[in-house]
Amino acid sequence: MRTAEEYRAKLRSMRKNVYIDGKLVERDDPQLIPGINVIAETFNFAHDPAYAELMTARSHLTGKTINRFTHIHQSVEDLLKKQEMTRVLCQHVGGCIQRCMGVDALNALSVVTKECDLAMGTSYHERFLRYLEYFQENDLVGNCAQTDVKGDRMKRPHEQADPDLYVRVVERRSDGIVVRGAKAHNTIAPYAEEIIVLPTRHMTEKDADWAVAFAVPADAEGVYLICRATAPRPRKELKAPIAEYGGADSLTVFDNVFVPWERVFLCGETKFAGRLALMFANYHRHSYTGCKPAMTDIIMGAAALVAEYNGIEKASHVRDKLAELVAIAELVYGTGIASAVKAYRAASGTYVPDFVYTNVARYHAGVNVYREYEILADLAGGLPATLPPEGDFLNPVTRGFLEKYIMRNPAISAENQHRCFRMLSDLLCSAHAGVKQVAGVHGGGSPIMEKISIMGSYDMEAKKKIAKRLAGIQD
Ligand SMILES: Cc1cc2nc3c(=O)[nH]c(=O)nc-3n(C[C@H](O)[C@H](O)[C@H](O)COP(=O)(O)OP(=O)(O)OC[C@H]3O[C@@H](n4cnc5c(N)ncnc54)[C@H](O)[C@@H]3O)c2cc1C
């Protein structure tokens, strides 16, 4: 397993293809550091003996100890550990751990390449396993680039005015394929080493050129990563862990990128494009059953803390709202546990979380995102929005005023009250908070997608039968 320092060194050695705000930047650009700090923790924790059980696994390919973020789930226990690992790490960094993306894509490929081979006589699975071994041996960090830019949402790939609005194969050669198009909102991509491309939807036979899955190094020739990055506002003196971590994502452009066959995992088998899209979504939404409860934990902890500082923690409406947050977090987490416990073993041997429970959990997490922020904003009062910048707390002319007038409970120091509200400002009123809120709604698929997945897997006929029997209806 690699160390965080080895990961950072690898990033520094990569070809420059990351653009931020009009500039071509190195992968250690200051705007990317908060995101890189997040990924560094996935290496640090894996080397901490206290977290070995959670953070590491035994490779089913080589028998070696590997970082769980490169592991293919071999049991229910593996799925439960991944979920718990995600919650623990997200609590630690105060937000998205981001590395789930790659492992979710690997697990989806491990299932669907095998299914495709069994049905179509292809040989994607063996090819995928060789790539997986390379990924595990090098302890790589992967982005999953699934979401196409999609153009007209009501049109299929082959119906678009510009065929490049979904990533597609533009040339098939003896040694590989050439692909063109762009994927949107790719979290982690500017500091990932591999980009794993999966289809975003079901495909018809006319969409064969768009039914493609492959992996490329993130700095491959022809790949452009056009990024935005956010983090809590940097601190001058009142250093706080939350301000060390952030995130970035990219519009990932594939401008005639060559992909050798050994890195192509689907190419034209339209029947399996939708299956792969849904399988990734299923694994990724299962990861959400770990990360979303962690987000709620952070909001809940901050809400309880500010209620205490404001002296209102015993008020009945406060306890009611905190209980609501507990109910959201633990309902989502518990449903994720159910999804793991009800997992099935696919033909490849990989464990697949239950589709209905996974999607139900992700749905509840998504619809409650703004409610959680509403509760935090309610209990905090207006100060997170109007808190003067840190410099005014440091200026000798204004410092005394600010420390005197921030006071609530005299037993809590002005500095701690200031720290609390500055973190709330990060959580509620920063650009980073805005991104997290939208991520909570759309990440892993828009809310309707979870309902579509639920209805695609749910046995509604069985429920109709119950109703018919109770009503005495005999067909
Ligand atoms: C912060 C963040 C990080 C993300 N990270 C990643 C990542 O790393 N990798 C990745 O692949 N994706 C990532 N996503 C993408 C995420 O999965 C998408 O945002 C999501 O699937 C919605 O797609 P969209 O943004 O194109 O919105 P749209 O699809 O345009 O959705 C807008 C609205 O249109 C509706 N709609 C869309 N199509 C139809 C249709 N045919 N019929 C009826 N209604 C329709 C949707 O339901 C929604 O209500 C990320 C998103 C965010 C916000």
Ligand 1: residues with CB < 6 A are 101, 143-147, 150, 153-154, 183-187, 249, 435, 438-439, 442-446, 448
Cβ neighbours, 10 Å, residue 326: 12
Residue with tokens 């037993």: 411
Name the phi and psi angles at 153, rounded to 5: -60, -25
pLDDT of residue 14: 98
* Burial (CB count <10 Å: 0-12, 13-18, 19+), residue 170: middle
Within 8 A by CB and 6+ apart from 473, the residues are none
Q: DSSP string covering 418-449, please?
A: HHHHHHHHHHHHSHHHHHHHHHHHHTTS-HHH
The tokens describing 181, both together, are 């198009």
Query: Ligand 1 pocket check: which of 148, 185, 363, 436 to mutate, most ligand atoms within 8 Å of Cβ?
Result: 185
Q: How many CB atoms lie within 10 A of CB 173?
A: 11
CA dihedral over 290, 292, 294, 296, signed as positive or negative: negative
At residue 277, the 3 state secondary structure works out as: helix
Angle, alpha carbons 69-73-75 (nearest 5°)? 140
| Furthest CA-CA distance within the chain | 84
Kindly give the number of the ligand 1 atom that is closest to the alpha carbon of 144.
9
- Sites in the chain below the pLDDT cut of 70: none
Task: List pLDDT tens digits, range 414-451.
Answer: 999 999 999 999 999 999 999 999 999 998 888 899 99
List, as own/partner pairs, every contact residues 178-182 make where C-beta atoms lie below 8 angstroms and the sequence separation is at least 24, other chains included: 178/256, 178/257, 178/258, 178/259, 179/212, 179/214, 179/254, 179/256, 179/257, 179/259, 180/254, 180/255, 180/256, 180/257, 181/148, 181/149, 181/253, 181/254, 182/148, 182/149, 182/251, 182/252, 182/253, 182/254
Residue whose token pair is 């005197």: 404
Q: How far is the centre of ligand 1, averaged over its atoms, from the C-alpha of 147 (Å)? A: 7
Of 122, 133, 235, 145, whose CA–CA distance to 192 is shortest?
Answer: 145
Query: Beta strands 223-230 and 18-20: pairing type?
Result: parallel
pLDDT of residue 289: 97
DSSP state of 183: E
Domains along the sequence of the chain with CATH: 276-458 (1.20.140.10)
Tokens of 319: 């306890």
Please say whether the beta carbons of 369 and 270 come within 8 A. Answer: no
- Mark 267-299 as b/e (b = at least 16 C-beta within 10 Å): bbbbebbbbbbbbbbbbbbbbbbbbbbbbbbbb
CA-CA distance, 98 to 189, in Å (whole number)? Answer: 10
Report CA(100)–ligand 1 centroid distance (Å).
Answer: 18
pLDDT tens track for 91-107:
999 999 999 999 999 99
- Residue 261's closest CA among 178, 143, 162, 381? 178
Residue minimizing CA distance to atom 45 of ligand 1: 153
**Rounded-to-integer distance, Cα 318 and Cα 303, Å:** 9
Can you give the pLDDT at residue 47? Answer: 98
The two structure tokens encoding residue 436: 């997290």
Contact of 207 with 268, CB cutoff 8 Å: no
Any idea which residue has 């901490």 for tokens?
A: 48
Beta-bridge partner residues of 187: 249
Task: Provide the 8-state DSSP code for 253.
Answer: E
**What is the per-residue pLDDT across 200-240, written as a single tens digit (0 to 9) for each?**
999 999 999 999 999 999 999 999 999 999 999 999 999 99
The length of the chain in residues reads: 475
What's the 213 CA to ligand 1 centre distance in angstroms? Answer: 19
Cα angle 405, 408, 412 (rounded to 5 degrees) comes to: 110
| CA 444 – ligand 1 centroid, Å | 8
Residue of 147, 150, 252 to test ligand 1 pocket, by largest number of atoms within 8 Å of CB: 147
* CB proximity list for 455: less than 8 A, separation 6 or greater: none
Q: Which residue's CA is the nearest one to ligand 1's atom 1? A: 439
Q: How far is the CA of 185 from the centre of ligand 1 (A)?
A: 9
By the 10 Å C-beta count (0-12 exposed, 13-18 middle, 19+ buried), 91 is classed as middle
Element at 172 (helix H, strand E): strand 168-172
Separation of CA 52 and ligand 1 centre (Å): 35
Pair 391, 366: CB distance under 8 Å:
no
What single-letter DSSP state applies at residue 388?
A: P
